[in-house]
């Protein structure tokens, strides 16, 4: 089967950008005050292939907060350091089907664990389980890992970090509940602070596509040539994105686009075609589940038009 050429990829990006830039559906996240103020018209798309080719259109060089897009990458690092079995036992790897900030999901889980690493409870637990003696060491592991995935230095957006720290009462509750069930691997305040900081890291659509392309490429960053994680960890991370990457809308997403993806409330989404490429999109207005409207429409269209829906036989 013929793979799409670079020219076809570039054209597909341009077509989707043109088609969806006028979309007015959705609304910026407003529970984090910083995100409510971001320009809603921003819209960027990027593809990075496993051969290191890069295609972009629109605001693909605009930095935005990574938010929940941080979760699969920290999870992958955790699996590398402690093994997948510990993640399966202490967090769980089934879909929750619940919103990203669900407390019910923890209560309903048979062991009172998060249930899945890509919701807030699971991501806070992941951060807490990274082997580290100090908060500084824990943060450095998270940050170095993002930089290795992106092949670039991703800075913390201090304004976002402050905005989230000042308002994250919901995540404080989740963390306290996890602590009460004794499932955290570090002091609760340290886990929440490093989690909040990882959500505040700035990324561009191009950098995000590179991070996704590292997963598509069996754990080797196609731009730097460095191995970041093992192929086994990349495969497991992608399976978790397929089952829980867009929270309670994940099934709907997989049905429409047919590829594993992850969203963040900053407006980013990255989707991965294993062995081929990753596509990232950024646009702030979100649907009710917290997933960017333009990003979902653009990615689903590009992937389907390039013949890369994983469930399509031709």
Rounded CA-CA distance 281/237 in Å is 19
CA angle 274/278/280 to nearest 5° reads 150
* Ordered DSSP codes for 179-219: HHTT--SS-HHHHHHHHHHHHTBEE-HHHHHHHHHHHHTTT
Task: Please give the backbone phi and psi of residue 32, each rounded to the nearest 5 degrees, phi first.
Answer: -110, 110
Q: Which of 50/205 has CB closer to ligand GLN?
A: 205
Q: C-beta of 249: minimal distance to ligand GLN in Å?
A: 12
Site membership for ligand GLN, residue 295 (CB under 6 A)? no
Q: Binders of ligand GLN: how many residues, by CB under 6 A?
A: 11
Among 264, 274, 284, 285, binds ligand GLN (CB under 6 A): 264
Contact flags string 104-123 toward ligand GLN, x per CB under 6 A: ----------------x---
Record the tokens describing residue 167, joined without a space: 């308002």
Site membership for ligand GLN, residue 161 (CB under 6 A)? no
Contact flags string 83-102 toward ligand GLN, x per CB under 6 A: -----------------xx-
Strand pairing category for 277-282 and 268-273: antiparallel
* Ordered DSSP codes for 75-120: HHHHHHHH-HHHHHHHT--S---S-TT-SHHHHHSTTSS-S-TTSH
State the Cα torsion 304-307-309-310 to the nearest 10°.
Answer: 180
Contact flags string 216-235 toward ligand GLN, x per CB under 6 A: --------------------
Q: Which of 67/248 has CB closer to ligand GLN?
A: 67
Q: Which of 171/214 has CB closer to ligand GLN?
A: 171
Q: Shortest CA distance to 72 belongs to which of 109, 116, 105, 111?
A: 116
Among 46, 130, 150, 199, binds ligand GLN (CB under 6 A): 199
Binding footprint of ligand GLN on the chain (CB under 6 A): 67-68, 100-101, 120, 164, 171, 199, 264-265, 290
**Which residue ranges make up the annotated binding site for substrate?**
68, 120, 164, 171, 195, 247, 265
């Amino acid at each position: 089967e013929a793979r799409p050429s670079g020219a076809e990829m570039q054209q597909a990006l341009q077509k989707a950008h043109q088609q969806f830039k006028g979309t007015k559906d959705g609304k910026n996240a407003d529970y984090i005050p910083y995100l409510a103020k971001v320009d809603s018209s921003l819209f960027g798309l990027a593809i990075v292939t496993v051969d290191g080719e890069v295609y972009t259109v629109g605001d693909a060089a605009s930095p935005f907060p990574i938010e929940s897009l941080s979760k699969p990458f920290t999870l992958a690092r955790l699996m590398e350091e402690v093994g997948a079995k510990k993640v399966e036992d202490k967090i769980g790897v089934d879909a929750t089907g619940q919103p990203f900030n669900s407390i019910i999901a923890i209560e309903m889980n048979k062991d009172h664990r998060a249930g899945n690493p890509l919701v807030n409870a699971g991501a806070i637990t992941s951060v807490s389980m990274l082997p580290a003696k100090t908060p500084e060491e824990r943060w450095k592991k998270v940050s170095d890992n993002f930089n290795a995935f992106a092949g670039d230095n991703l800075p913390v957006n201090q304004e976002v970090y402050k905005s989230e720290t000042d308002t994250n009462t919901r995540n404080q509750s989740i963390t306290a509940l996890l602590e009460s069930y004794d499932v955290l691997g570090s002091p609760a305040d340290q886990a929440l602070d490093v989690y909040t900081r990882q959500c505040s890291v700035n990324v561009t659509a191009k950098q995000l596509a590179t991070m996704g392309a590292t997963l598509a490429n069996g754990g080797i960053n196609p731009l730097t040539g460095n191995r970041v994680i093992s192929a086994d960890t990349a495969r497991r991370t992608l399976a978790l994105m397929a089952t829980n990457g867009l929270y309670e809308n994940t099934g709907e997403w997989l049905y429409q686009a047919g590829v594993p993806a992850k969203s963040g409330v900053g407006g980013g989404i990255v989707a991965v075609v294993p062995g081929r490429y990753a596509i990232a999109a950024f646009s702030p207005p979100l649907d009710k589940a917290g997933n960017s409207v333009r990003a979902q429409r653009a990615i689903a269209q590009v992937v389907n038009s390039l013949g890369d829906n994983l469930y399509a036989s031709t």
